[in-house]
A and B are shown apart, each in its own frame.
Chain A
Amino acid sequence: MRHPVLKYVRVRDYLRSLVTHELAVGDAIPSERLLCERFGVSRMTVRQAVDALVVDGLLEREQGRGTFVAPTKLDLEVRLSSFGEEMRRRGMEPSSKVLATEEVTASPDIADALELLPGERVFYLYRVRYADGEPMAIEQTWVPSRLAPSFFAAGAPDSVYGELRSRGLEPDWGEDTVAATEVDPEDAGLLGLRPGRAVLRLTRRTFAGEIACAYSRSSYRADRYMLWVPLRAPKRTLIPRAAPDGNGQPAGAEPRNGQAGDGQAGDVAQTEAGSPATRVLP
């Protein structure tokens, strides 16, 4: 343990375990002096360890008061349910601040995602989503006008999926992409985040059978959310029975489980690919 990097890792991992298993949200962590004594390290090493956990979102520093256990992150499961449904499932009360409800001409990227022709109209809903009064996410949603005439007739719907269901469109599958980025200045204000903090950007295409019925772009606070992805081994790969290069394959495409990772390097951002993360029908 003479190596400084290892010392720092030891303190960090000790604190991580303390935070996740012994302390409660809002508890103070042991003082720097205590940690220095316990691990026989310098204050700088202790600060480095604490900094790492602050960056990870496990700890929060409060000016002049000390360092405390941060609120736990909500696990954001990639599945086809709405923000409201997810929050209620956790016993939290969802609410929204509606920033815009408009009917507009779909821009090319929105038209593409919703399989619309150029020039088709869409309903656009722009909301800040809250859980128990705290801003959690910003969500932009587009719904084809053709599928849901007078979508905003009764004002902004509480639930887009609920509104689609009431029109006979049952969202039953979709695809999410998730990327981590810095929050942009406008969103930072809406989410109560300092500029430069991280957000998880989700884009989602929602389908009802073969019909693309909604497209959304959301930014979730990375300090309150982590992504939870269920995994399963990939399904059997199909290969032609007689490969054209002459390497004849036996009839009835062989399982090639060991090679299921082939070709995945180029698309690490595809949560869906190779995993059932976005499986929406059990």
Chain B
Amino acid sequence: MTKRVVTCIVCPKGCRIDVEINNGEITSIKNYDCKRGIDYAKSEVLDPRRILTTTVKLSTGRVLPIRTIEPIPKHLLKKAMVELKDKIVVPPVKVGDVIAKNIVGTGVEVIATANAK
């Protein structure tokens, strides 16, 4: 059996959640302040994911902020950056417009988080 302390990042409280793992399965989760902590601790131990926020080039010169619509596996973040590296977006773009589909094969969409004229 292994024990892990997971610092929850769902909200700024930063609960330190105690997780016990036995043969790759979670046997106990303790010391969380809300339900979101349970889900976070589970995912952090079994399949850690993060929302990727970055920028892509605009054809007009500056950059456009974007994000994955859902968290993607942590180990794929750098790969996703590489995949987005040479992308150039032509305005106009509105908040929520899809910029890329199925990023690094995760099935997750990447959307614009700002408007560009």
Task: Decide whether A and B assemble into one complex.
Answer: no
List chain B positions with a Cβ less than 8 A from chain A: none
